[in-house]
Amino acid sequence: MGAFDYSLEAALFFAKGTNFRPQALEYRQFVRAAEAIRYAIEDLPSSALRHCSLEVGDDRYAGDAILGLYESADFPLPRCANSLK
């Protein structure tokens, strides 16, 4: 597996609120995967992460995989000091 390309377009699917229901699924498109990852970690409640799905090209990442991309030394954006809730 090659290095993750944080500059590719990405789509983020996530559940709003604390209870996952299919009708509560939200979708956001991002110009860069790094922005989608930062949004998932810094802006969504930490409980929502397990219901997140990040699509970058043909690849999909969920929950802890998204967190791993955020925590990677290769993550290109500044991190919020209190982002890991």
Between CA 21 and CA 29 the distance in angstroms is 21
Between CA 8 and CA 85 the distance in angstroms is 26
Model confidence at 84: pLDDT above 60: no
Higher pLDDT, 7 or 83: 7
For residue range 14-70, what is the model confidence (pLDDT) as tens digits?
876 555 555 578 889 999 999 999 999 999 888 888 889 999 999 999 999 999 999
Q: What is the pLDDT of residue 17?
A: 58
Higher pLDDT, 55 or 85: 55
Q: Which two tokens stand for residue 24?
A: 């509560």
Alpha helices by DSSP H, 1-85: 33-38, 64-71
Strands in the chain per DSSP E:
10-15, 25-30, 53-56, 59-62
Between CA 19 and CA 84 the distance in angstroms is 21
Q: What is the pLDDT of residue 45?
A: 86
The pTM of this model reads 0.85
Q: What is the pLDDT of residue 71?
A: 94
Residue 35 near residue 12 (C-beta atoms within 8 A): no
Q: What is the pLDDT of residue 50?
A: 84
